[in-house]
Homo-oligomer: A and B are copies of this chain.
Amino acid sequence: MTRVAFQGELGAFSQVAAAQLAGNRFTPVPLPAFDAVFAALANGKCDKAVIPIENTLHGSVHENYDLLLRFDSNIQGETFVRIVHNVIAPPGVGFHRIRRIYSHPVALNQCRKFFEKHGKIEQVPFYDTAGSVKMIMRDSLRDAGAIASAAAADQYGAVILRKSIEDDPENFTRFFLLASGINKAKTQKRDPRKRYKTSLVFTTRNVPGALFRSVSAFALRDLNLTKIESRPLRGKPWEYLFYLDFIGHVDDPPCRNALNHLAELADMLKVLGCYPAA
């Protein structure tokens, strides 16, 4: 079975994304950190990897863009996961018995209205959302809950007491499915019914108009950008890194021409992958 690595405990939102991207039949390989995920892919300790790349509330995950540049992987798919937070407890523990709730502080903070309404319930910060479900189950806590995904409740045999308690329903994370760069040659077969997206990173010197000329490589060929983001390169005060996604397959002539045109203008250009748009 395909081994899919991701950062976090079993039941993490990345595992939910992995199920959307790789089907339900895969062996999850939970790892403590993003660089460990990329290393596992490079070393062949897993077949695929799933990483979060941007969130509608918190922005792009620059750390993973950096790792995409450092490691020789390629993007094979993308998916969006709605971040739904649930109150989860061991079976038999009723909601009225919950005195404290464990979760990652970012998750606790995304459920502020819930805690305002239930002022007597104490918030206890924990290192991980799914990890907090694992802990309350392992320790068979009878007066505590956790905030995590439905997948985490499933994973550890816990029960959902309150569904979707997050303040903002517009909380989505975009994930990439990665394969090792070594497999780049045997590219996925192109599906003519699908719309493809291409992701790349490039740098330009920060001269006025540099971005304009770069964007023109796509505009002149009527290609549609779905993401552009600049990032100042610290230590190189006048240089910028750009993340750019556009609709199109690298094998289409207009896309190939646009990439050649951009390569003329850019100091560095790396195509991170070409994959069916979610």
Alpha-carbon gap, A58 to B228, bound state (A): 16
**Those of A1-59 within 8 Å (CB) of chain B:** 33, 54-59
Alpha-carbon gap, A227 to B229, bound state (A): 8
Q: Are A222 and B234 in contact (CB under 8 A)?
A: no
Q: Is A208 an interface residue (CB 8 A)?
A: yes
What is the minimal beta-carbon distance from A146 to any residue of chain B, in angstroms?
13
Per-residue B-contact encoding for A222-233, CB less than 8 Å = 1, 0 else: 111111111110
CB neighbours of A222 from chain B (8 A): 208-209
**Those of A77-114 within 8 Å (CB) of chain B:** 104-106, 108-109, 112
CB neighbours of A230 from chain B (8 A): 225-229
Copies of this protein chain in the complex: 2
Q: Are B208 and A212 in contact (CB under 8 A)?
A: no
What is the minimal beta-carbon distance from A32 to any residue of chain B, in angstroms?
8
Q: Is A270 an interface residue (CB 8 A)?
A: no
* Residues of A in contact with B (beta carbons under 8 Å apart): 33, 54-63, 104-106, 108-109, 112, 123, 125-128, 170, 172, 206-209, 211-213, 215-216, 218-219, 222-232, 234-235
Q: Are A229 and B232 in contact (CB under 8 A)?
A: no
Q: Which of B54, B112, B206, B228 contacts A33 (CB 8 A)?
A: B112
Q: Are B211 and A223 in contact (CB under 8 A)?
A: no
Q: Which of B62, B105, B123, B215 contacts A56 (CB 8 A)?
A: B62
Which chain B residue lies CB-closest to A225?
B211
Which chain B residue lies CB-closest to A126?
B125
Q: Which of B55, B63, B212, B225 contacts A216 (CB 8 A)?
A: B212
Alpha-carbon gap, A108 to B61, bound state (A): 17
Q: Assuming the A-B contacts A59-B58, A60-B59, A215-B215, are A223 and B208 also in contact, with contact meaning beta carbons closer than 8 angstroms in the complex? A: yes
Q: List 8 A-B contacts (CB under 8 A).
A: A33-B109, A57-B62, A58-B59, A170-B235, A211-B215, A211-B228, A212-B215, A228-B230
Alpha-carbon gap, A229 to B207, bound state (A): 18
CB neighbours of A112 from chain B (8 A): 33
Alpha-carbon gap, A106 to B34, bound state (A): 13
